[in-house]
Every structure is written in C-alpha cells, then in structure tokens.
C-alpha cells in the first residue's frame, strides 16, 4: 500500500529544504558523470521532468513545468518567483521573516508500496519511464481531486469562523531511491502555507483535511496510479492487485522475501533500536536520524544494473480482481464501531476506485456504496455527520426487541429457596461465602426472563457468582453452557466456574453447519452463560440471540462495559443493560492490599487523574526522562525473576504490536545472556505469523510461548491466547525414509497442569509469550503486571492493565508521552451504537413474546470468511443484481393527514431523513415475513413455572401479529410530499416515539384462556383505515 505523510515546515527550515530538492545538497559527491543531483531534480537519461508545479493557484500565477533554482525559497517566503512581487499581506510577510517557528508550509510525501518500487527496479528502462510518468500523474491528479471536492480550504473572519474553498499551489519532486540506494518510488509535494481565495487574495491554508485524510489521499494516489499503469504499461497491468484488507495497490508475485531484502534501511533502524533497547515510534525516529546516511552518489546506470541483476528471480503473477464482499466492506467502514463518518465512506470509495474507473468513478462508487450497503445518515451530532447501515439498525432493534420480549419467561424462574440452596452448596464446595453483591447477581440472573445481564468490574469475583448460578440451574434440570468471545476467555471461564465452555463462534458453527443427527441443537430450558459479553460485536450477539430465541433458551450476559470493547463493531451490552436493567458487582477484590484495590476502584469509577495520582503516591508510575521507559520496565521485570518469581507470573503489557515484539525479543536476549536459556539447545523453527504468512522463531527449552490459534490436539483443546512454557524439543522420523524429521514441541499450559506434545507440521501458530497487548490480556490474572504506556493508551487499556495482577501493577512512560497519556486516560470513551443517535427508537414499547423474530442476516461461516454477496461495480449491476421492485406501496394519505393521525395516536415526529432508496424492498420482505410467521400463534407457550407442562397459545388476531412483526420497520416508512410543478417532491421518513399508551379497549370474543403478559397490546393506536390499507397491501404483495 502507498503511504501519505504530512509534516509542518517551519520558516527556519525552508532554506535547507530548498537545498535538499534543488541542489541535492544532502548527497555525497561522486566521480560519475551523471551522479548526484539527478534523483533529486532531473534525471539526465530521461525525457520526463521529475519536478513540476501543480495546482490551480500555480496556473493562475503562470507557473508551469519545472521549478527553477530559487523558486522554492521565494514561494515559501510569499514572493512571486518570476515577478518578485509579494503575494501575502505585509503582516504575514513580516511573520515569515521574523519568526523562525512560523509555519511556512507543509512538506508531504506519497510513497509507493515496496512491491511497486521493486517492480519498477526490475523493469526495462522504457517501462521504468512509463512508471515514472504514471507516478507523477497520479500525484497531480490526487491533489486535483482534493481541489475539485473543495477540500483545499482557507478560513477568514474572527477565529476563522468562515470557511472557503481555495486554489492550491505546490511543487512535486519525484525520487526513485532510498538513502541506502534501494528502490523506493516516492513523490515529495511541497505546499506553501498560502492558498488562493475566491476573491483573489492569498490566505493561509487550513491543512486539517490533509492530516485527517492521510489514508484517503494515499488511496486516491493508488487509484490514479493503477489507472495510469493499466493504460500506459500493459506489462504491469495484469499484476496490479488491490489489497482490500491491507489498504492499497500492490504488485502480485513480489513476496515478503524480496521486500525484506530490499528493506535494508528499515532493518538498519530496527537493529539500532534493539541495540539501544529503545522501543516505540519516537525511538525509531531518533534511530533513523542517527543512522541516516547522506544520499550516496553513484552512476544511475550502474545502480539500475545492480537492481536488475538482484531481481532476476522476480516473476510477476496475475492478480485476482474479484469484487469484495459487502461484509468485508462493512468491516472496513465500521472499523470496530457501529457508526462511521464521511471520511470512512470517502476512503472506501477511493479504495474501490483502484480496481474500477480511477478517480473519475469516485462519486459513482460512493453512490453505489450507499445504495448496495443500505447506508443511511444519522442525525448530526456535535456538528459531525455520521452514518450507519440499515443492517446495523435492524440488528440493534432486533436485540432491543428481544430484550423487551424476554422479560416474561416464567419457565426460567427459580424459587428463592433453590437459589439459597445453590449458594450454600457453592460455599461448601469452595470453602468461602459469596459477598452480598455476588449473591444478588445470582438471584438476579435466576429470575423468570430469557435475557439477564450482570455488569462486573475486573477482579470482583464474577466467576464465583457464575459457578453458583450453574449449581442452581443444573439442580433444576437445565443444561448450562459456557461461552466467551475468545478461546482463552472460554478456557478461563471453564477453569474458574466449572462450566463446560467454548467460544461463541464454535457453538454457532456447530448449530449451523452440522447435518442430521450430528447437528448440535439447543434445547428448551438451556441456559447460555456468556462471559466477557462487552467484547461481543453486534453481529455475533444477534446471531446467538436468534438461536437462543428459536430454541427457547436463556441468555445470561456477563461482562464489563468499561473494559476493552468489541473488535467487529460496538457492543450492545451497555445499551441492553440500560433497556432491561442489570445486576452489578463493583467491589474489586483481586488485589490483596486495600491500597491497591483502591487504585483499581479509581480506574473503574474515579475522577479524572485520581488513579494516576494514587499510583504516583505509591511509586507505581515510572516516568523516564533520558533513558527509554522500556529499559526501566525490562530492568524491573528481570529483577522480579531474579528474586525468585517465575516468568509465568510476570506479564509485560503494551498497546502496540511493535512494542510487544520488541519487548519479547529484549526479554529473551536478557534470558540468554543470564544463562536461563541454553543456546546449545536452540532451534530455529518456522511459525505462522498473523497476516504475514510465515516467519522464523528462535526457541529453546524454558521459553515462554503464546499460542495464536484455536485447535484440538490429541483430545486437548488449545486456545488462541493460551500461554505455555516450552519443556523440550525433539525430532521424530518422518512418515517415510525420504521425508524430513518431524519437530516436536513439548509444552505445559499455564491454565492447568496439562502437558502436551505438538508437531510443528500440525500446529505452528506461536510467538514469544513474555509480553502481549493489553487487548490480548483481558481475562488473564498473574502476580505481577508491568505496562508500557504510550500516547495511544486509553482509560480502558489502563484499567485492564492495572487489574491483571494480584500485586500492584506498575506503569512505565516516556516523559514526552505523559501529558497525552494523562489526557487519554482521564475518561472512558465508548464506541457508539447506531441507535444511540436515535433515542426514540430505544423507547418503543417491547414486542410480545409470541411475535418475536429476527431479521435475516448471514450465517456465522459467511461472516467469519467475509463471504456472501459481493459489491457490484457500476456498469456491471444489471448483469449481476436484479433490479429493485418498482412496486408503489401506499400505507398512508397526504402528509397533513398522516401528521394528524400520528398526533391523535399519541406519537410525535422527532426526525426527518431520506430513506426512500431502500424502502420498497424492505417493506415487501417484512410484510411477507410477518404473514409467514402467523404460525407463531400456535406454538407452545408455558402456562406454569419451569419444567412443567405447557398448553398451546390461543390464536391471536391476524392484524395484531402482522403489524407487530413489522412495527419497528415502519420507522423507516417513506412518505411522499406533495410539491409544486417547479419543485421535485422530496422523500422523507418519520421516526416516531410513543408519548403514552392509552388503556386498550376490551377485545371482542377474546378467548377465556388467553395468557396474560405484562406486554401491552398497542394496535389500538392504528385506525381502521390504516388497518385496511395494511391488510390490502399485504394481500397484494403475496399475490
């Protein structure tokens, strides 16, 4: 993928930057006749100018072609480089001349993916010139696109309150090598801090869009580059690959080995970092400066010959150009939330343009994304326009309806004496009594409902409450099944509570993929206890709830809304708790020292800065000045183990994967140096790496390993997140004499005394296990935790990190990161659910039990593999996707009549938005589903408490079921406004919330054995004409 970077350029650095581009001053002199300056300004063996002016403002100044020597300083000083006349106001000119720290402009760069650079180096010179031309064109077109979309802006007025579009002036310089003379195609775009306003004045650039849209600009560049290469360089066209998950343009056939070989510059930086024990981005930048060599001057032809000889083994491969699935696009859009902003939508359209149409297709692709993914705008919040999809709204509404409909389930109600007996049994088995809030949570979860929630802080003893709940339900004949979002969490749940547990996805796969008698089935009366429920994304919980509802099973969700959140989308755990209530266990008891428990409590519910101050008072916050924080963390960890603490009880934590890798490697080096690991028994083995294929790992007996994949070996379950110690390595003969020996690893898992032998050919998903990310650690408990904080830390991460250990955890920070760390950890920040933007939708009356069903969503295998329906590129839609029906379904009269009816029915209009593009298909599907679900009226419904006989539920009125099955969907019902002949009638939708529920009139001929429920019949708010139209429309649709 390409990378776009932007940095401020201050006035005191303008001259040196000019020298860098115009004279190649940072290069070393060389004897070659065409050495030195050609890479940094103009290449002597090419007809392509490698530098040029770009932007509409440059054209207005008459600046075309290549910049001349001296132009850079003149322009960044606010002077016209040809006339010598000032362009800026006298005040602004004086600032540039008098203040060294005045922002004179912005120095940006567009860096091609390494595979593109290697393909360039391996190509013939004519093809290289085509690529150079394409790169310059792509850079220019990317910024032209920003201008066309009015993203090049300025501000004027008091406080910059007035925003205006503006014209861009910039200079671009093409480079094709790194400082170590590796192939590295990149373009520097130098942008002065002045843009041309519509009135002809020159004002400062508002660069916020450049910073906010860095990834999008890189994708715009990729899209323009792919378009130009397919047009002009057929030698490369078939190999251009759009890597959707890694964001951008690559060349198929160029693997990691070639890229690593030519990434010597990066390897040099990392080597320096390791030698100095410095970890993190700041350290890498410092190392880069120390190891930066001057641009070596060599004969360009000799350099190209070296590249060509070194890359003779490269064979470009044809790239797959399959359209992405809608589920993959959904994951890219939401990025762990349930709403997204316009930047995410623009970014995804730019990425799709790499494979289809280039920059000219952006608007059409954006429109198709909105149409095919059923994207809708949400009410503007804090001046920010957010979006979601109808799928997300459907799933959240389904879960809210499920929660409401689950309030009355007497078959799951346990008598108080049954719960008391279970608590006594627990005390007899475990030897201690539950605290009052733990016992209350058990009573709450044992009530007569089909959904119960328990909110528990980290280290409060939730597992003990779950163990007692298991005893209570099993004593009443129920099957209790434990579930968790990850394998490690499932293993911990089983170990701590005694509940046989698996991952949620494992259960869903068994429910959906089994055949015949082998298919696992939930049974009526099953109780599903789900731990770490705050980490479950909406799709997964929706799928699980639908299976539980269909089987008449109970869900008990246990989690902590303040620990780490779901990866796939925002969790609905907190929203469901607000809807139906929950039990809370908040007294943290993990740490032995009351002072440590007080700090944990402060991280959970304290005021901003309180926990940090308490840690400082107890010397638990280690802030480093001259030496890196990671060095002090490592020294403290080694001191712990030297004093007798086993590495199994020491856990190093960090926010970023690169920090985890560095910590793991440094710990291992220290262990080897101390003689804890026998180098004579070391083996280099090939292991699986996430998203990188495979790599090599040096291991020895005694090493700590982290398992990265779920599996079952010799009847023993291994979970992603398991930690283990390597006991030994040996070889066994291969299956045949001519096959290599099989390498066997002997492991002991931390979660139990089990020892297991693993063949590397069967399981190789390992990494060092001394350090891990905070996210990976949730659910673990050790004696000592040491956390490397950073500018990326959040309060959730700090809270989880501090509560991983029984002894007080220690935090380590670089002094430069402390202020940002303190700000980021002052408050909990939550990912937003889609319905958070539509409060009225959450206040709708709950659906009755008998009419509850879930909207159609992809099965678990499809979701995990990101399969299913694919995106249809414009121009291919008619051939791959049936046209939407044009059926006109009219449920209401003119708007004035509808508003009057809405008010009479006790509703109020709270929001107006356009959803007409997706209405007819949805109403058609929901009406059909509602009529097909009439059989629900005949299903058995309990008349007595749990485990007793049942009798059929009497048939309910047809129109009640029909309406209640689609009632929430009518929130998105479209109504046409009558307009004048000159004005096109807009399309709106009404979101309605009940103000009050009038007492329902007695129903005529109501069966005498109708079971009473606490859910109120709401169909009385619909008048007879609406019923008639609804029933007539339903009949017409089915016909």
Q: What is the pLDDT of residues 559-574, one digit of tens each?
A: 888 887 777 677 888 8
pLDDT at 674 over 60: yes
Report how far apart, in Å, the C-alpha atoms of 52 and of each of 42, 49, 181, 991 are. 10, 7, 23, 54
pLDDT at 903 over 90: no
Q: pLDDT per residue over 607-621, tens digit each?
A: 989 999 999 999 999
Q: pLDDT per residue over 871-886, tens digit each?
A: 998 875 333 333 333 2
pLDDT at 381 over 80: no
User: Lowest-pLDDT range, 230-239, 246-255, 856-865?
Assistant: 246-255
End-to-end Cα distance, the chain: 52
What phi, psi does 687 have (nearest 5°)? -125, 160
Q: Which residue has the higher pLDDT, 298 or 798?
A: 798
Provide the 3-class DSSP secondary structure of residue 165: strand
User: To 5 degrees, how large is the angle CA 965–CA 970–CA 976?
Assistant: 150
Task: Note whether 384 and 397 are same-domain residues.
Answer: no
Task: Note whether 523 and 668 are same-domain residues.
Answer: no
- Only one residue has tokens 């070659």, namely 32
Query: What is the mean pLDDT of the segment spanning 663-686?
Result: 91
The rounded Cα 803 to chain-centroid distance in angstroms is 24
Task: Note whether 386 and 417 are same-domain residues.
Answer: no
> Are residues 451 and 685 in contact, defined by beta-carbon separation less than 8 angstroms?
no
Question: What CATH number is attached to the domain comprising 333?
Answer: 1.10.10
Task: Note whether 16 and 68 are same-domain residues.
Answer: yes
CA distance 975 to 892: 8
Query: What is the mean pLDDT of the segment spanning 169-175?
Result: 94
Structural domain contains residue 994: no
Q: Which residue has the higher pLDDT, 299 or 485?
A: 485
Query: What is the mean pLDDT of the segment spanning 414-425?
Result: 94
Task: Note whether 166 and 180 are same-domain residues.
Answer: yes
pLDDT at 49 over 90: no
| % of the chain residues with pLDDT over 90 | 44
pTM exceeds 0.95 for this model: no
User: Lowest-pLDDT range, 42-51, 360-369, 396-405, 438-447?
Assistant: 42-51
By residue count, the chain amounts to 1039
Q: Which residue has the higher pLDDT, 614 or 976?
A: 614
Burial class of residue 1038 (count of CB atoms within 10 Å of its CB; 0-12, 13-18, 19+) = exposed
- DSSP states of 613-636: HHHHHTT-EEEESSS-HHHHHHHH
Rounded to 10 degrees, the C-alpha dihedral 475/478/479/485 comes to -100
User: Lowest-pLDDT range, 19-33, 112-126, 236-250, 914-928?
Assistant: 914-928
What is the residue-averaged pLDDT of the chain? 78
Q: pLDDT per residue over 79-126, tens digit each?
A: 999 999 999 999 999 988 888 789 999 999 999 998 999 999 888 889
Structural domain contains residue 618: yes
Structural domain contains residue 644: yes
Structural domain contains residue 1008: no
Query: What is the mean pLDDT of the segment spanning 826-848?
Result: 71
Positive or negative, the CA dihedral 952, 955, 961, 964 is negative
Report how far apart, in Å, the C-alpha atoms of 626 and of each of 84, 285, 631, 656, 1017 are. 47, 15, 11, 22, 70
pLDDT at 947 over 70: no
What phi, psi does 14 have (nearest 5°)? -65, -45
Task: Note whether 383 and 398 are same-domain residues.
Answer: no
Q: E strands along 49-192, which residues?
A: 51-54, 103-111, 153-156, 162-165, 170-177, 183-192
pLDDT at 902: 47
Q: pLDDT per residue over 126-164, tens digit each?
A: 999 999 999 999 999 999 999 999 999 999 888 888 889
Question: In the sheet that 386-389 helps form, which strands lie side by side, from edge to edge?
Answer: 340-341, 386-389, 375-377
- Name the pLDDT band for 845 (thresholds 50, 70, 90): low
Structural domain contains residue 959: no
pLDDT at 577 over 80: yes
- Name the pLDDT band for 425 (thresholds 50, 70, 90): very high
Q: E strands along 307-463, which residues?
A: 340-341, 375-377, 386-389, 451-456
Q: Which residue has the higher pLDDT, 857 or 999?
A: 857
pLDDT at 951: 36
Task: Note whether 769 and 820 are same-domain residues.
Answer: yes
Task: Note whether 385 and 400 are same-domain residues.
Answer: no
Provide the 3-class DSSP secondary structure of residue 996: coil
Structural domain contains residue 502: yes
pLDDT at 330 over 50: yes
Joined tokens for residue 154: 């300025």
pLDDT at 439 over 80: yes
CA distance 258 to 731: 31
User: Lowest-pLDDT range, 214-223, 314-323, 325-334?
Assistant: 314-323
pLDDT at 298: 54
Provide the 3-class DSSP secondary structure of residue 124: coil
- Name the pLDDT band for 826 (thresholds 50, 70, 90): very high
Query: How big is the chain by its Cα radius of gyration, in Å?
Result: 32
Task: Note whether 188 and 331 are same-domain residues.
Answer: no
CB neighbours of residue 740 within 10 Å: 9
Domain termination site, one of 367, 391, 415: 391
pLDDT at 42: 39
Domain termination site, one of 520, 555, 585: 585
Task: Note whether 613 and 515 are same-domain residues.
Answer: no
Q: pLDDT per residue over 17-44, tens digit each?
A: 998 888 764 343 333 333 334 444 434 4
Joined tokens for residue 341: 């902003």
Q: E strands along 390-520, which residues?
A: 451-456, 480-484, 501-503
Q: Which residue has the higher pLDDT, 1009 or 39?
A: 39
Q: Where does residue 280 fall: left (phi above 0), alpha (psi -120 to 50 degrees), or beta otherwise?
A: left
Burial class of residue 432 (count of CB atoms within 10 Å of its CB; 0-12, 13-18, 19+) = exposed
pLDDT at 692: 56
Residue span of the structural domain in which 331 resides: 326-391
Q: pLDDT per residue over 743-786, tens digit each?
A: 899 999 988 777 899 998 889 999 999 999 998 888 788 999 99
Question: What CATH number is attached to the domain comprising 407?
Answer: 3.40.50.300
Provide the 3-class DSSP secondary structure of residue 395: helix
- Name the pLDDT band for 839 (thresholds 50, 70, 90): low
Rounded to 10 degrees, the C-alpha dihedral 933/935/940/941 comes to 40
- Name the pLDDT band for 637 (thresholds 50, 70, 90): very high
Query: Would strands 3-10 and 103-111 be described as parallel, antiparallel, or unpaired?
Result: antiparallel
- Name the pLDDT band for 409 (thresholds 50, 70, 90): confident
CB neighbours of residue 208 within 10 Å: 11
pLDDT at 890: 31
- Only one residue has tokens 């008072």, namely 617
Task: Note whether 664 and 735 are same-domain residues.
Answer: yes
Q: Which residue has the higher pLDDT, 983 or 506?
A: 506
User: Lowest-pLDDT range, 66-80, 662-676, 985-999?
Assistant: 985-999
Domain termination site, one of 226, 254, 282: 254
pLDDT at 514 over 60: yes
Q: pLDDT per residue over 3-19, tens digit each?
A: 999 999 999 999 999 98
pLDDT at 518: 65
Q: pLDDT per residue over 578-602, tens digit each?
A: 888 899 998 888 887 889 889 999 9
pLDDT at 1035: 44
Number of separate domains in the chain:
4
Question: What CATH number is attached to the domain comprising 819?
Answer: 3.40.50
Structural domain contains residue 887: no
pLDDT at 900: 55
Q: Look at residues 311, 319, 259 and name the one whose alpha carbon lies nearest to residue 123.
A: 311
pLDDT at 55: 95
pLDDT at 695: 77
Structural domain contains residue 598: no
- Name the pLDDT band for 287 (thresholds 50, 70, 90): very low
Encode burial over 536-557: b for 16+ CB neighbours within 10 A, e otherwise: bbbbbbbbbbbbbbebbbbbbb
Task: Note whether 89 and 230 are same-domain residues.
Answer: yes
Encode burial over 130-140: b for 16+ CB neighbours within 10 A, e otherwise: bbbbbbbbbbb
- Only one residue has tokens 């779901």, namely 566
Joined tokens for residue 392: 């997300």
User: Lowest-pLDDT range, 384-398, 715-729, 917-931?
Assistant: 917-931
pLDDT at 299: 62
Positive or negative, the CA dihedral 273, 278, 279, 282 is negative
> Are residues 854 and 539 in contact, defined by beta-carbon separation less than 8 angstroms?
no
pLDDT at 956 over 50: no
Q: Look at residues 56, 47, 40 and name the one whose alpha carbon lies nearest to residue 133.
A: 47
Q: pLDDT per residue over 734-750, tens digit each?
A: 777 677 788 899 999 98
């Amino acid at each position: 993928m390409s990378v776009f970077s932007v940095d401020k350029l201050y006035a005191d650095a303008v001259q040196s930057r000019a020298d860098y581009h115009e004279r190649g001053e940072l290069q070393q002199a060389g004897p070659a006749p065409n050495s030195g300056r050609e890479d940094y300004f103009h290449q002597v063996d090419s007809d392509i100018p490698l530098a040029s002016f770009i932007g509409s403002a440059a054209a207005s100044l008459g600046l075309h072609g290549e910049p001349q020597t001296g132009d850079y300083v003149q322009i960044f000083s606010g002077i016209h480089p040809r006339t010598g006349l000032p362009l800026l106001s006298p005040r602004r000119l004086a600032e540039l001349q008098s203040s060294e720290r005045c922002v004179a402009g912005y120095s940006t760069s567009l860096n091609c993916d390494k595979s593109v650079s290697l393909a360039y180096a391996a190509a013939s010179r004519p093809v290289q010139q085509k690529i150079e031309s394409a790169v310059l064109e792509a850079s220019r077109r990317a910024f032209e696109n920003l201008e066309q979309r009015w993203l090049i802006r300025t501000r004027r007025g008091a406080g910059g309150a007035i925003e205006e579009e503006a014209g861009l002036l910039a200079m671009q310089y093409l480079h094709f090598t790194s400082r170590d003379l590796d192939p590295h195609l990149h373009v520097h775009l130098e942008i002065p801090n002045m843009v041309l306003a519509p009135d002809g004045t020159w004002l400062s650039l508002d660069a916020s869009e450049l910073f906010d849209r860095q990834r999008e600009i890189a994708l715009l560049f990729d899209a323009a580059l792919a378009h130009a290469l397919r047009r002009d360089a057929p030698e490369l066209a078939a190999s251009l690959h759009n890597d959707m998950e890694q964001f951008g343009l690559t060349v198929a056939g160029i693997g990691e080995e070639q890229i690593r070989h030519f990434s010597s510059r990066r390897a040099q930086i990392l080597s320096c970092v390791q030698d100095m024990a410095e970890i993190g981005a700041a350290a890498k930048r410092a190392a880069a400066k120390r190891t930066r060599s001057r641009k070596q001057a060599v004969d360009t032809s000799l350099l190209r010959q070296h590249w060509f000889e070194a890359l003779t083994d490269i064979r470009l491969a044809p790239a797959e150009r399959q359209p992405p699935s809608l589920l993959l696009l959904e994951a890219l859009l939401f990025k762990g939330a349930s709403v997204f902003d316009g930047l995410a939508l623009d970014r995804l359209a730019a990425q799709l343009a790499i494979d289809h149409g280039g920059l000219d297709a952006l608007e059409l692709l954006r429109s198709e994304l909105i149409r095919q993914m059923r994207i809708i705008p949400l009410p503007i919040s804090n001046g920010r326009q957010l979006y979601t999809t109808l799928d997300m709204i459907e799933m959240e509404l389904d879960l809210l309806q499920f929660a409401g409909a689950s309030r009355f389930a007497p078959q799951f109600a346990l008598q108080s004496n049954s719960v008391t007996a279970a608590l006594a049994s627990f005390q007899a088995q475990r030897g201690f009594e539950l605290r009052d809030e733990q016992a209350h949570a058990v009573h709450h979860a044992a009530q007569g409902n089909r959904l119960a929630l328990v909110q528990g802080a980290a280290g409060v003893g939730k597992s003990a409450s779950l163990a007692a709940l298991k005893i209570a339900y099993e004593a009443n004949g129920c099957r209790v099944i434990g579930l968790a979002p990850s394998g490690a969490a499932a293993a911990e749940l089983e170990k701590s509570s005694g509940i046989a547990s698996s991952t949620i996805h494992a259960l869903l796969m068994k429910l959906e993929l089994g055949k015949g008698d082998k298919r696992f089935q939930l049974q009526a009366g099953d109780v599903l206890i789900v731990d770490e429920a705050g980490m479950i994304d909406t799709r997964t919980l929706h799928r699980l709830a639908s299976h539980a509802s269909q089987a008449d099973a109970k869900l008990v969700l246990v989690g902590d809304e303040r620990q780490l959140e779901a990866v796939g989308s925002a969790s609905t755990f907190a929203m469901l708790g607000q809807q139906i209530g929950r039990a809370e266990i908040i007294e943290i008891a993990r740490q032995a020292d009351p002072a440590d428990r007080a700090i944990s409590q402060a991280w959970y519910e304290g005021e901003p800065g309180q926990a940090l101050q308490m840690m400082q008072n107890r010397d638990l916050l280690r802030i480093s000045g001259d030496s890196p924080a990671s060095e002090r963390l490592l020294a403290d960890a080694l001191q712990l183990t030297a004093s007798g603490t086993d590495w199994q009880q020491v856990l190093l934590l960090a926010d970023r994967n690169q920090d985890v890798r560095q910590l793991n490697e440094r710990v291992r080096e220290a262990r080897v140096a101390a003689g804890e690991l026998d180098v004579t028994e070391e083996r280099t083995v090939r292991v699986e790496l996430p998203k990188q294929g495979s790599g090599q790992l040096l291991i020895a007996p005694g090493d700590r390993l982290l398992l990265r994949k779920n599996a079952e070996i010799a009847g023993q379950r291994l979970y992603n997140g398991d930690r283990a110690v390597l006991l030994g390595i040996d070889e066994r003969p291969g299956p045949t004499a001519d096959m290599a020996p099989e390498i066997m690893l002997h492991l002991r898992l931390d979660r139990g005394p089990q020892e297991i032998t693993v063949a590397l050919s069967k399981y190789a998903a390992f990494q060092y296990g001394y350090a891990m990310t905070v996210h990976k650690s949730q659910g673990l408990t050790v004696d000592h935790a040491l956390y490397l904080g950073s500018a990326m830390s959040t309060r959730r991460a700090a809270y989880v990190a501090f509560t991983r250990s029984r002894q007080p955890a220690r935090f380590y920070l670089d002094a430069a990161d402390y202020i940002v760390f303190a700000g980021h950890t002052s408050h909990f920040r939550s990912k937003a659910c889609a319905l958070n933007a539509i409060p009225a939708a959450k206040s709708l009356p709950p659906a009755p039990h008998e009419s509850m069903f879930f909207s159609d969503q992809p099965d678990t295998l499809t979701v995990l593999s990101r399969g299913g329906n694919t995106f249809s590129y414009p121009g291919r839609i008619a051939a791959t996707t049936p046209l939407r029906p044009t059926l006109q379904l009219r449920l209401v009269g003119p708007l004035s009549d509808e508003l009057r009816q809405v008010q009479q029915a006790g509703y109020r209009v709270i929001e107006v938005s356009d959803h007409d593009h997706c209405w007819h298909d949805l109403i058609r599907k929901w009406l059909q589903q509602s009529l097909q679900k009439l059989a629900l009226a005949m299903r058995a419904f309990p008349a007595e408490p749990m485990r007793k006989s049942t009798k059929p539920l009497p048939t309910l009125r047809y129109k009640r079921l029909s309406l209640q099955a689609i009632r929430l969907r009518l929130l998105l019902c479209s109504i046409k406004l009558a307009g004048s002949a000159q004005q096109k009638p807009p399309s709106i939708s009404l979101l309605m919330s009940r103000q009050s529920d009038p007492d329902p009139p007695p129903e005529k001929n109501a069966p005498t054995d109708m079971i009473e429920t606490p859910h109120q019949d709401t169909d009385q708010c619909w008048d007879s004409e609406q019923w008639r139209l609804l029933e007539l429309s339903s009949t017409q649709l089915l016909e």
